[in-house]
Structure 1
């Protein structure tokens, strides 16, 4: 298997793909990126926390214009994970039409190879696919 690196720091690939948050030790607020201070309580003590791999769509849009080289249309969504945090992610495995995506739709975390560098190292991204 080729070497792989996640495209974002909060994606963990081993042993199973998952997202991780930094959780404020003071109030329990979750953040996907490193923090110097909690935006909720101002605390400065954090611990890593594994997040649920399933959730539901709470908002979405169908994107028809993107940067050069990015295939359109695609579905960009906001997902509430089953353990509470809200995270962004694209939806895959669905037609990018309003008839095929719905608020409350159950989804699960998945990963895909977004690109490969000249040394064969794969950049791995995450998305969400319908539960099923």
Structure 2
């Protein structure tokens, strides 16, 4: 089965990971395409691999979402060795007993769906590392 990442900055394979674009002048990192750095305004970037482990720095438990989206779920911000990454916290119950600030997490991938041609879309999230 063919697999495609849901976002351009997710690299699949034996060791899935995220790749950011880093400004060569000031070191600011971005996951989306940039014409210029929002921090310093210059226009040169290079790709950097983001660590697959991190610390949950902020989160919210979402109880209301668009039709078809299963709730509750945990939306979080993870510090991956200095790079902030937005992602859902998965593979744990979505409640404060199981999700807390400072908890160690690791990148994981999951199937988002398969189209009529049999191509699987793959997304990412973070799961507890303990």
**Which interval holds the TM-score relative to the shorter structure?**
over 0.9
Deviations 1:48-107 (A, max 9, x none): 1100000010000001111111111111101000x2100100011111111211100000
Partner of 1:96: 94
Alignment of 1:1-132 (within 5 A): 2-81=1-80, 83-132=81-130
Give the distance between the partners of 1:14 and 1:53, measured in 2 at CA.
14
Give the distance between the partners of 2:51 and 2:74, measured in 1 at CA.
21
Give the distance between the partners of 2:84 and 2:43, measured in 1 at CA.
21
4+ runs deviating over 2 angstroms: none
Gaps of 5+ in 2: none
Give the distance between the partners of 2:8 and 2:96, measured in 1 at CA.
31
Give the distance between the partners of 2:13 and 2:94, measured in 1 at CA.
30
Number of equivalent positions: 130
Gaps of 5+ in 1: none
Q: Secondary structure at the match of 2:95?
A: coil
Deviation at 1:14, TM superposition (A): 2.5
| C-alpha RMSD of matched pairs (Å) | 0.8
Deviation at 1:111, TM superposition (A): 0.1
TM-score (norm 1): 0.96
TM-score (norm 2): 0.97
